[in-house]
Amino acid sequence: MSFQTYAELWRIPDVRRILVLGLFLRLPMPASAVIVTLHVVGPLDRSYAEAGLVSTVLAIAMAISAPWLGRLLDRLGLRRTLLLPLAVLPIAWSVAPWVGYLPLLALVAVAGLFTVPSFSVVRQVMIRSVGPGKRTAALSADAVMTELCFMTGPLIGVLGASYLGTSWALMLSQWLGIVAAVGLWLLNPAITESESVDPAEATASVPAVAAAIPAAVATADGGAAEPSSRRWRLPTWVSPGVVLLLAGTFAASLILVAEDLGTVAAMRDFDRTTYLGLVMAVWALGSLLGALIYGALNSHPSAAMMLVLLGATTMLAAIAPEPISFAALLLVSGFFCAPTLTAALEAITSRVSSSVRGEVMGWHGSAITLGSAVGAPAAGFAIDMIGWQGGFLLGGGLGLLISTAIWLTTRRISKPYPEASGLQAE
């Protein structure tokens, strides 16, 4: 184990710049989640269920847009892809805080469809900037920064809503992300190893972004459009191994949202809701520490192994008899949260060509979003049926089932992509 790897990563200019820029790109997400809830139940005088519907609409829109925008990244490059979000988001987020509930829903849906693919961009730059031997450490460093965003974002959102009002806080938090996106457009870092040619030259046959959208949708692998008779074939990157790893990502996300709801229910059952924020912080701290240690390891456990550990420790939290032991078990479970997602992403990207990495990372993001969208009602049902323990048992049990399928399958049917592993194609 060597933490010196992180110092070496920080000395790489592109890594340093994209990590800092990524922090500002992502902060609006957790901050706005809190602000939107306060805005809907406060100034708009709606229920918490209606506030939750806004979050659900945004999640669905982002799940739809992630693979599509990822494919545009592969085809058009970073700058031309960012023109779409930079044209739509300033308008949507300047108007949304000042309208009624139904127009807010519509504008949130539009904004979600054109959200800057920050997670995909940051990770692609990280992977491109380091050698294969440091890829896991790079993705772990990104996971640490993501955890910091989700630890500080809600606090920033609450403070902003308290001192500025929810409307101004929502608009300003989203404009922070828009300004960061403009910075990303100006910086224009390369996102693939082979990006030595200007993306505009590589797509000279496409005169404008709007003209490229139908071609991007019709193209399976980021290359030229296929004849109509082959248009509906699966993308070339699709393999049983990649599909199972995406399923593992879905399961990990489902586990996390099940733990989230289960923690709220547990602290209410323990009659210690005043300590809920502290317990959540302990859980996030475990995830942050886990990401740091996982990236510093010389040999990294597989995604299937990490999902097994995440599922098992999640189920273990269900036996806690009181708040202190519950927080301790949650810390242990949190230790495997970020590393599980990192291991799955590293395994996925090592199995595909860099020419389709943006699209694949988009599907990875969609798997996370859909896992949250499915996990929330499923965990809620389990909690209603058997108590707060139901969320942990359901999430952990599904994680163990899916990790077993991955464990038995990925070793036999999927190999790392030659360019990612440094090997020559057979």
The answer as to whether 426 is a domain residue is no
Distance CA 11, CA 99 (A): 46
Place of tokens 């990006």: 195
Query: Are 344 and 245 in contact, with CB atoms under 8 Å apart?
Result: yes
Query: Are 67 and 363 in contact, with CB atoms under 8 Å apart?
Result: yes
Residues 181 and 252 grouped into a single domain:
no
Residues 207 and 339 grouped into a single domain:
no
Does pLDDT of 222 surpass 60? no
**How would residue 292 be classed by pLDDT, with cut points 50, 70 and 90?**
confident
**Which H or E run includes 43?**
none
Residues 385 and 258 grouped into a single domain:
yes
The answer as to whether 81 is a domain residue is yes
The CATH number covering residue 99 comes to 1.20.1250.20
Residues 141 and 261 grouped into a single domain:
no
Q: Average pLDDT of 216-226? A: 41
- What's the pLDDT at 360? 83
The answer as to whether 311 is a domain residue is yes
- What's the pLDDT at 4? 77
The answer as to whether 422 is a domain residue is no
- What's the pLDDT at 231? 56
Global pTM value:
0.70
Does pLDDT of 165 surpass 70? yes
The answer as to whether 247 is a domain residue is yes
The answer as to whether 341 is a domain residue is yes
Distance CA 155, CA 175 (A): 18
Distance CA 118, CA 361 (A): 11
209: containing domain: 1-6+13-228
Residues 191 and 278 grouped into a single domain:
no
Place of tokens 């500080």: 152
Distance CA 312, CA 225 (A): 45
Q: Average pLDDT of 344-365? A: 80
Tell me the average pLDDT of the chain. Answer: 80
Query: Are 223 and 356 in contact, with CB atoms under 8 Å apart?
Result: no
How many residues are listed for the chain in this entry? 426
Distance CA 417, CA 102 (A): 46
Residues 150 and 269 grouped into a single domain:
no
Q: Average pLDDT of 131-153? A: 80
Q: Average pLDDT of 103-124? A: 90
Residues 141 and 32 grouped into a single domain:
yes
Query: Are 183 and 320 in contact, with CB atoms under 8 Å apart?
Result: no
> What is the number of structural domains in the chain?
2
- What's the pLDDT at 274? 76
- What's the pLDDT at 422? 39
Which of 197, 228, 259 represents a domain boundary (last residue)?
Answer: 228
Residues 297 and 388 grouped into a single domain:
yes
Does pLDDT of 157 surpass 80? yes
Structure-model confidence comparison of residues 132 and 23, the more confident one: 23
Which of 187, 211, 228 represents a domain boundary (last residue)?
Answer: 228
Handedness of CA 56, 57, 59, 60 (dihedral sign): positive
Which of 196, 228, 260 represents a domain boundary (last residue)?
Answer: 228
- What's the pLDDT at 195? 54
Does pLDDT of 98 surpass 80? yes
Q: H helices of 131-275, where?
A: 135-164, 166-187, 199-202, 209-218, 240-269
Q: Report which residue type is found at 52.
A: G
Reduced to 3 states (helix: H, G, I; strand: E, B; else coil), residue 247 is helix
Query: In whole angstroms, how far apart are CA 232 and each of 73, 189, 204, 235?
Result: 21, 33, 25, 9
How many C-alpha atoms does 50 have within 13 Å on its Cβ side? 14
Residues 194 and 47 grouped into a single domain:
yes
**How would residue 194 be classed by pLDDT, with cut points 50, 70 and 90?**
low
The answer as to whether 421 is a domain residue is no
The answer as to whether 424 is a domain residue is no
Residues 217 and 319 grouped into a single domain:
no
Residues 396 and 266 grouped into a single domain:
yes
Query: Are 303 and 405 in contact, with CB atoms under 8 Å apart?
Result: no
**How would residue 185 be classed by pLDDT, with cut points 50, 70 and 90?**
very high
Residues 132 and 39 grouped into a single domain:
yes
